[in-house]
Amino acid sequence: MAAVPPDDFTDAQIEECEAVLQYRFGDRTLLRRALTHSSVSRTRLDSNERLEFLGDAILGMIVCEALFEQYPESPEGELTRIKSVVVSRATCARLTRRLGLQEFLRLGKGVAHRDRVPGSILAAVFEAVVGAMHLDGGLAVTREFVLRAIGDEIHRAAESATGVNYKSLLQQFSQKAYGETPVYSVLDEKGPDHSKCFKVSAMIGTRVFEAAWGPSKKMAEQRAANNALIQIEGKVPPEPAD
């Protein structure tokens, strides 16, 4: 990572960052501050910490609103679970890396010379950028940016009761190790039409793994993939909840 040295950003650097964000700031001081870590700022008030505080709240609100609209049948507990995954530090850090925002960071020497910037710093940058964008352009443009950046994370977290997509993990492993894609088969189902349970097994080539029951075909497939990973890797990933 080529961190920006602790001096003023050039116009070219700011314009490049704005291109990544797909947003042009009216007040570029906000963007500069969002990209400035406390290790290099003159005072903590000159760093991105206050913008991180604001951005965290704005991000949570936008995600909550999106979940409320996208999953009208989901109860409060499920929406809370998905939100906790989507706005987590790990997710925000991953988004910073995906956007390449770490290339624009102003960091002190003790941080900038590390091979890998800590995830907590990367997460703070994403939240600070959200806060800066909200102050500069308002909620509408900030919502557009957040949902563009985080939309896939919402769907990924909603697919699995733990935020872990076991089917995706199994597919990645299977294609890398065997050059094949797992196949899922419904072996049994029970219960009335409005409350059915399904028994599903995963198969890679001719190898059939332990089947799993679930309250939907999607959940049963996730649990079947989990069983397969347990058998293949010899370890137990987190168990999906109902």
Which residue numbers are catalytic?
Answer: 56, 127
CA 126 → CA 6, 93, 120, 121, distances in Å? 19, 7, 10, 9
User: Can you tell me the distance from the alpha carbon of 101 to that of 228, in angstroms, rounded to the nearest whole number?
Assistant: 37
Furthest CA-CA distance within the chain:
67
Q: Among residues 129, 158, 156, which one has the least CA distance to residue 142?
A: 129
Q: Residue 51, CB half-sphere, CA atoms under 13 Å: how many?
A: 28
DSSP labels, 80-91: HHHHHHHTSHHH
Residue 78 near residue 64, CB atoms below 8 Å: no
The H or E element containing residue 142 is helix 139-159
Label the pairing between strands 197-204 and 183-190: antiparallel
User: Can you tell me the distance from the alpha carbon of 59 to that of 74, in angstroms, rounded to the nearest whole number?
Assistant: 20
Residue 59 near residue 123, CB atoms below 8 Å: no
